[in-house]
Structure 1
Amino acid sequence: MRAKVLGTLLCLTLVQGSAEAADKQVRIAYVEWADAVVATNILKLVLEEKGYQVKTIPLAAAAMWQSVANGDADVSVAAWLPTTQGAYYAKLKNRVDLIGPNVTGAKIGWVVPAYSDLNSIEDLKSKASEVDGKVIGIDPGAGVMRSSEEAIKAYKLPVKLVDGSDATMTSALKDSIRQKKNIVVTAWTPHWMFARYDLKYLADPKGAFGQEETVNTLARKGLKDDMPEVYRILQKFKLTIKDEETVMAENEEKGAKPSETAAKWIAENRATVDSWLK
């Protein structure tokens, strides 16, 4: 009888221990965009300081939203609103907890080198040949790509939107700048390319790309009750555009590791981080 009781107590202890361990696991979903990589790695290290086991999950934007809605991920700090990922929010707003902005002053649009004679999207009606009739884009399905398709229709432009990735887009931009050629790329702020190159957004008089954006923190339903400490940190988690673009530029250096550049930023901004943890 005594052995049975001890066995039961041992099982209960193991179950309780497993539950407590599970309570310390946080899953962060993100899109592998330069800004999201920075924010996700900073948040990961901050939560690890508090003793949490953190798993980061790279996904396409639609899958990122769905994973938080399904509870497969606990949080994301890469939700661009109201325009870029607005369609996902409209579909899933009743299944996620939108905590609010972690970056303000963000925007999306088309960018050219500062030396370009293109100043407005409308200029491409008559000068498309200067960029070989192309706008260099990123991954299909991204919000800036959907807005780009809408811009092409709204302005009746004789250009083709070229699918790719953040890496292929910035590589094309780098090559064009090196050769002093004209190029139009899909872009967003914050992004490291603004810290490295002299660029300008093309004016968008028709408002195809919307107005100022914010990058928001999303949580799964129930996180506030399950992990109140994590939720409080998420409510306070804020970065500036300058913060992100500085770290993003560091991440582009040869041999750079996002976890190390995030740790460096945390060390240099200890007061800010401590304010999140109070």
Structure 2
Amino acid sequence: MKKNILFILLACLIVMPSCQRIKKQDVLLLYPNWAEGIAITNLAQIILEEKGYTVTIKRLELGPIYASLSRGDADVCMDTWLPNTHKDYWIKYGNKLEILGTMFDDGITGLVVPTYVDINSIEELNANKDKFNGKIYGIASGAGIYRTTEDAIKEYNLELTQISSSETSMITALKKAIAHKEWVVITGWKPHFMWAEYDLKPLKDPKNIYPKDEIKIIARKGFSTDKPELAKFFTNFSMDEKMLNELMSDVLKDNDPTIGARIFYDKHKELLQSWVVKKETAKQL
């Protein structure tokens, strides 16, 4: 009998740590490999962990992010562009998701060139296609801006091909071209650190192919009911362009994004911590 009791106690001791780990993970955040997504997600992790929460963050491509949230396999993504750029994903998964808040309310997308390039409209690209080597540098083919650019190529009958790559590769191509004063056109968006790092201009889009968007924070369906205090934090998490550019600039200072996010956090601690509410307060809201 004593052996049985001892066995049960040992089993409990073995099982309990893993159970505690599962219980302690308060929120799982997914984010795309984009500058603003990396910055705000790492910052959110720091803010919440300072308040005693356990936060896990995971980088995925956009499609798997929406799919994971819709299945309830993860909790939140802070970098979704709605209602236009990610429209296809929202049509497919939106009924299994909920919007917690607006992180940024002035998102724009489009084609971007250095200011020394003397054209000002998408309609002028064909006449100068050789100067651009027939290329538009874009990001991953699963991104909304990639699809919108394919639409722009059709609508404007552009004789240029979009090159799918990572955001990092696209920025590298931009940087290299600028260093040699070469003509280059990329897919761009605001907010993004590129606007602070380089002298750029958006090309006019007379056919309005590229829409304006808001960056929404979305969650699995039921998240705000299950965890109202965390939902309220994400509702409160909002930045203007100046603040967001400062955050991204800090994050760029080191290969480890947590270092830059911590620098930003230390500068704005009082404001950032005010976004976190107590459980009792959240239930009343």
TM-score in terms of structure 2 length? 0.88
Distance 2:57 2:160 in 1: 37
Report the counterpart of residue 262 of structure 2 in structure 1: 263
Residue segments in structure 2 that go unaligned for 5+ positions in a row: 278-285
Count of paired positions: 272
Per-residue deviation at 1:127? Answer: 1.4
Change (3 A) 1:51 1:24: farther
Distance 1:18 1:68 in 2: 23
- What is the letter of the counterpart of residue 272 of structure 2? V
* Contact 1:195/1:246, CA 8 A, preserved across alignment: no
Counterparts in 2 of 1:172-251, with a 5 A limit?
172-210=173-211, 212-251=212-251
Report the counterpart of residue 146 of structure 2 in structure 1: 145
Per-residue deviation at 1:23? Answer: 5.3
Whether 1:165 and 2:166 are equivalent positions in the alignment is yes
Report the counterpart of residue 120 of structure 2 in structure 1: 119
* Contact 1:78/1:216, CA 8 A, preserved across alignment: yes
Q: What SS does structure 2 have at the residue aligned with 1:129? A: coil
Q: What SS does structure 1 have at the residue aligned with 2:214? A: strand
Whether 1:135 and 2:136 are equivalent positions in the alignment is yes
Change (3 A) 1:213 1:223: same
Per-residue deviation at 1:247? Answer: 2.7
1:170-216 residue CA offsets vs partner (Å, 9 max, x unmatched): 00100111111111001111111111111000000001111x21111
CA RMSD of aligned residues (A): 2.3
Q: What SS does structure 1 have at the residue aligned with 2:84? A: coil
Distance 1:123 1:224 in 2: 48
- What is the letter of the counterpart of residue 137 of structure 1? G
1:54-87 residue CA offsets vs partner (Å, 9 max, x unmatched): 1111111111111111111111101111221111
* Contact 2:250/2:263, CA 8 A, preserved across alignment: no
Distance 1:132 1:102 in 2: 37
Q: What SS does structure 2 have at the residue aligned with 1:186? A: strand
Whether 1:106 and 2:79 are equivalent positions in the alignment is no
Counterparts in 2 of 1:15-30, with a 5 A limit?
18=19, 22=23, 24-30=25-31
Q: What SS does structure 2 have at the residue aligned with 1:217? A: strand
| Percent of residue pairs bearing the same amino acid type | 34
- What is the letter of the counterpart of residue 260 of structure 1? I
Distance 2:261 2:172 in 1: 24
Report the counterpart of residue 154 of structure 1 in structure 2: 155
- What is the letter of the counterpart of residue 234 of structure 1? F
- What is the letter of the counterpart of residue 257 of structure 1? D
- What is the letter of the counterpart of residue 79 of structure 2? A
Distance 1:196 1:176 in 2: 14
* Contact 2:251/2:260, CA 8 A, preserved across alignment: yes
* Contact 2:66/2:89, CA 8 A, preserved across alignment: yes
Residue segments in structure 1 that go unaligned for 5+ positions in a row: none
1:20-73 residue CA offsets vs partner (Å, 9 max, x unmatched): 961543100110101100010011111111212111111111111111111111
- What is the letter of the counterpart of residue 111 of structure 2? W
1:230-263 residue CA offsets vs partner (Å, 9 max, x unmatched): 111111111222222223233334x442111111
* Contact 2:251/2:259, CA 8 A, preserved across alignment: no
